[in-house]
Amino acid sequence: MNESVKGQIIHEIFHNEENWYTITKVKVLETSTPIEDKEIVVVGTFPSVYPEDVFIFTGYWKDHPRFGRQFHAESYEKDWPKTREGIIKYLSSDLFHGVGKKTAEKIVDHLGENALTVIAENPDSLHEIPGMHPSRANEIYQVIIEHKALEQAMVFLYRFGIGPNLAVRIYQVYLQDTLRILQENPYQLIEDVQGIGFKRADEIGRGVGIGADSPQRLKAAIYHLLSEAAHGSGHVYLPQDVLIEKSIQLLYEINNSYLFETSQVETGLLQLIEEGKVVLDEERCYLPSLYYAEVGFARKVLDLLQTKLESNLSMAEFFQGLGEVEEQLGIEFAPTQREAIEKAMTTPFMILTGGPGTGKTTVIKGICHLFSIIQQISINPEDYRDPEGDPFPILLVAPTGRAAKRMSEATGLPAMTIHRLLGWKGDFFERDGDHPIDGKLLIVDESSMMDMWLANQLFRSIPEGMRVILVGDADQLPSVGPGNVLHDLIRSGQVPVIQLTDIYRQAEGSSIIELAHYIGKGEIPPDLEYPKKDRRFFSCTPSETVELIKRVCQGAIEKGYAVRDIQVLAPMYKGKAGINELNKELQELFNPHSGKKREITYGETTFRVGDKVLQLSNNPDQHVFNGDIGEVMAVITPEESNEKEPMLVVHFDGLEVIYGRSQLHQLTLAYCCSIHKSQGSEFPIVVIPVLLSYYRMLRRKLIYTAVTRGKTYLILCGQREALEKAVKESGEELRYSFLIQRLHQMPD
């Protein structure tokens, strides 16, 4: 049950301008339930506060392990001063720069004790005050109107169950126009504010009297479905008839008082097209950014394929150079590997694919060394230290930091993320068609993870004459974002593809690789439950799964493995054996609360020194990206750092990143993570629960991707029938993409 506190601000302890997270000391004036304290600490999301401001906070009490009892405000309302003395004190506060007590008295004497309302409703009223400079009058009006607009917007949004964090994001987008937009067209939020979908916007729409048959409502539903199809289901477009049918269904499900006709939806769609919010290409409906990405990517692929190489390589030169590489590396390439290397030397664009253990990394290394011999260029990074000199000629990139690191370790050459190569700045890329990347050869590993947006951005940044090789496993999960780029390029038949099939790590005795290839073919090996030296399957009930995982992890620790070597992978966040619950249980196993280690709590998560954590979003300023795994090294108090908030220091593969409390939404515990987040990574020990309760996620590619993360030891646990169901479920969820057809239809 929510409680309320009316209090006067004593002083602000901390305020984050970016997300408005605020900690303030408050003198208690009234409470909904009696308390003994005369002064309390209030924590919440609201604008910067000033001494002697009075607020009514609604929320709940919470005991902080270090700072004691605090009131967590879920909503607030400013108690505007109503007396002459109160208004004078308010106008002469730090909120109004340059307004002293005398000026404040003049304002109240002239406008009366209703001065704040008079100013908000009539800004010209301040100009009537003798000696009031126009610029000062405007400043006073702006401050009052902004704070009133903010409060009105926040109170309005609270009515619809929108919490302070989301309410702040909405206000930061629209500022003083927030209430007007909410009342006139709340559906605009769907386009402008992340986290607002159609159902939430429609609830506000109904609340302000927008009818069920409103054209605004109709267009918002169409746009929402198209956006959700891209971000949630991986579709590049939706067929027009599918979009129309889904729109009618969504609108009726939410409010069955009115059923739209097909002709009405067609009219709404046409209006969105005229407004430039949707692109219709024949019968395909696109978000504009995805339409131009698909068209641009297809055109660039065809341009690459038509590139004429500078020199023709004779077979004698090829075999001579290949012999030098084999001698340098001390290996002998198999026939298909030689074929792949030859193709890389003789074509401007190719794809190298194959399952785990088939030698893709060996081929990449061979390509790099042979390219340097044929092109007569050095691939020693030391020769490219001069910032004014030539750039390193071979660009090795991958979608994630861990995949790039693996690539660098395997080849001995520098590698980086695609985002870093393209100069991602948080909201734009530095590299594009006008500012291309530098180099002679581009190799992209784990390319199955590239979505259409990223693939287009990368390819439009490729300069004329650069050769390109995409490397990946087509049996892995497709990208989280829209499209199925690698799969479509292979299926198109337009791009040269070399598929490696011989399994070399199996010859070394890897039953993990053997299992992966069985799964890839839709089969379960007959010896699944027979203990192997590098994998086990433990049959258990759902209620036993969490304890079994903990015992397995404890056993690995006792055998000398470090926490960073052990990775639990699960397909879903919720549930008793979901990622969230497993992280809590595994934190207590690996890094329990002892009172000896510093910790900081953010929301429902406690971060403790020694914890394994996962980066959830790209942070280009700090050079950490979505999916990077690190370790909490320190918790620093405000007293130690002279900062206003505690800070967390996280170590990521040689890089230390500092997070303020307000930035902790970028992190989560990583003892267990999603299979999608694990793509591009390998771990010495991987533990995978497989349960029928995961039924919505039980797909062959998901299990295949999880299994292929295991490098040294793999443990599957749970229900055999769940694993069988997943392996037999070969069908991918359909992703609408027109890339294959564009590669065939585009003119030369």
**DSSP per residue, 535-596:** EEEEE--HHHHHHHHHHHHHHHHHTT--GGGEEEEES-SSSTTSHHHHHHHHHHHHS---SS
- Which range, 474-483, 494-503, 614-623, 736-745, has the best average confidence (pLDDT)? 736-745
Please indicate whether residue 493 or residue 134 has the higher confidence score (pLDDT). 493
- 471 vs 504 pLDDT, higher one: 471
Sign of the four-CA dihedral 9, 13, 18, 20 = negative
Q: Tell me the average pLDDT across 41-54.
A: 79
Q: CB of 401 within 8 A of CB of 625?
A: yes
Helix (H) or strand (E) holding 443: strand 441-444
List of residues 6+ apart from 315 with CB closer than 8 A: none
pLDDT of residue 281: 95
- Which H or E run includes 624? none
Report the range out of 296-305, 597-606, 710-719 with the highest average pLDDT.
Answer: 296-305
Q: Which of 344, 297, 349 is nearest to 325 (CA)?
A: 344
Given a cut of 80, whether residue 15 has pLDDT beyond it is no
CA distances from 554 to 215, 411, 540, 586, 689 (A): 59, 34, 18, 10, 16
Summarize the confidence of residues 689-699 as an average pLDDT: 85
d(C-alpha 50, C-alpha 533), whole Å: 66
Q: Which residue has the tokens 């206000």?
A: 171
Name the one residue in this structure whose structure tokens are 């929108």: 162
- The pLDDT-based confidence of 631 (bands split at 50, 70, 90) is very high
Whether the predicted pLDDT of 496 surpasses 90: yes
Residue 131, sorted as left (phi over 0), alpha (psi -120 to 50) or beta, turns out to be left
pLDDT in tens, 531-568: 888 899 999 988 899 999 999 999 999 988 999 999 99
Looking at residue 506, its pLDDT comes to 45
Residue 480 pLDDT more than 60? yes
Rounded to an integer, the average pLDDT of 152-161 is 72
b/e per residue, 160-187, with b = 16+ CB within 10 A? eebebebbbbbbeebeeebbebbeebbb
- pLDDT at position 440, please? 92
Cα–Cα distance measured from residue 565 to residue 458, given in angstroms and rounded to the nearest whole number? 32
Residues 6+ apart with CB under 8 A from 375: 393, 440
How many alpha carbons fall within 13 Å on the CB side of residue 469? 29
Amino acid letter, residue 162: I
Q: How many CB atoms lie within 10 A of CB 397?
A: 23
Report whether pLDDT(97) > 70.
no
| Distance separating the N- and C-terminal Cα atoms of the chain | 68
Helix (H, G, I), strand (E, B) or coil at 330: coil
Per-residue pLDDT tens digits for 367-416: 999 999 998 888 888 888 877 778 889 999 999 888 888 899 889 999 99
Burial class (CB in 10 A: 0-12, 13-18, 19+), 99: buried
Q: Average pLDDT in the 569-586 region?
A: 90
Name every residue whose Cβ is closer than 8 Å to that of residue 385 and which is 6 or more positions away in sequence: none
What pLDDT does 509 receive?
65
The total of other beta-carbon atoms located within 10 Å of residue 39's CB is 11
Sheet holding 238-239, edge to edge: 238-239, 284-286, 279-281
Please give the pLDDT value at position 22.
Answer: 84
Give the pLDDT confidence score for residue 1 in this predicted structure: 59
Query: Bridge partners of 238?
Result: 285
Q: Indicate the range of 38-47, 143-152, 322-331, 351-360 predicted with least confidence.
A: 143-152
Task: Report CA-CA distances (Å) from 281 to 271, 291, 677.
Answer: 15, 9, 34
- Give Cβ neighbours of residue 406 (< 8 Å, ≥ 6 apart): 398, 680, 681, 682
Q: Quick one: pLDDT band at residue 173, thresholds 50, 70, 90?
A: confident
Q: Which residue has the higher pLDDT, 82 or 102?
A: 102
pLDDT at 605: 87
More confident residue, 258 or 490: 490
Distance of CA 118 to the CA centre of its chain: 46
Instruction: Kindly state the percentage of the chain with pLDDT values over 70.
Output: 93
Listed residue (237, 247, 287) closest to 267, CA to CA = 247
**Statement: residue 507 has pLDDT above 50:** no
Section 711-718 average pLDDT: 92
- Classify residue 728 by burial, with Cβ atoms within 10 Å: 0-12, 13-18, 19+: middle
**E strands in 598-646:** 599-602, 605-608, 612-615, 629-636
Reference 92, options 37, 136, 156; nearest CA is: 136
Task: Output the average pLDDT for the chain.
Answer: 86
Q: What pTM was computed for the model?
A: 0.80
Angle between helices 700-707 and 511-520 (to 10 degrees): 170
pLDDT for 239:
96
Query: In the chain, pLDDT over 90 holds for what percent of residues?
Result: 38
Cβ partners under 8 Å of residue 447, min gap 6: 351, 399, 470, 471, 472, 485, 486
Task: Give the C-alpha separation, 39 to 16, whole Å.
Answer: 22
Half-sphere exposure of 456 (CA within 13 A, CB side): 20
- Directed axis angle between helix 198-207 and helix 215-233, to 10°? 160
From its phi and psi, is residue 623 left (phi > 0), alpha (psi between -120 and 50) or beta? left
**DSSP letter for each residue of 208-273:** TT--TT-HHHHHHHHHHHHHHHHHHH--S-EEHHHHHHHHHHHHHHH-TT----HHHHHHHHHHHH
Closest CA to 396 of 386, 384, 385, 405: 405
Is residue 368 within 8 Å of residue 442, measured between CB atoms?
Answer: no
> Residues of 105-116 as b/e, b for ≥16 C-beta within 10 angstroms?
ebbbeebeeebb
pLDDT score recorded for residue 747: 65
The SS3 of residue 107 is: helix
**Count of all residues that appear for the chain in the document:** 748
CA-to-CA dists, residue 161 to 32, 48, 164, 422, 461, angstroms: 21, 23, 10, 40, 44
Reply yes or no on whether the pLDDT at 461 is more than 80: yes
pLDDT confidence tier of residue 94, bands split at 50, 70 and 90: low
Are the C-beta atoms of 418 and 465 separated by less than 8 Å? no
Helices 288-305 and 452-460, interaxial angle, to 10°? 50
Query: Residue 98's pLDDT is what?
Result: 65
How would residue 748 be classed by pLDDT, with cut points 50, 70 and 90?
A: low
* C-alpha to C-alpha distance for 360 and 570, rounded to whole angstroms: 27
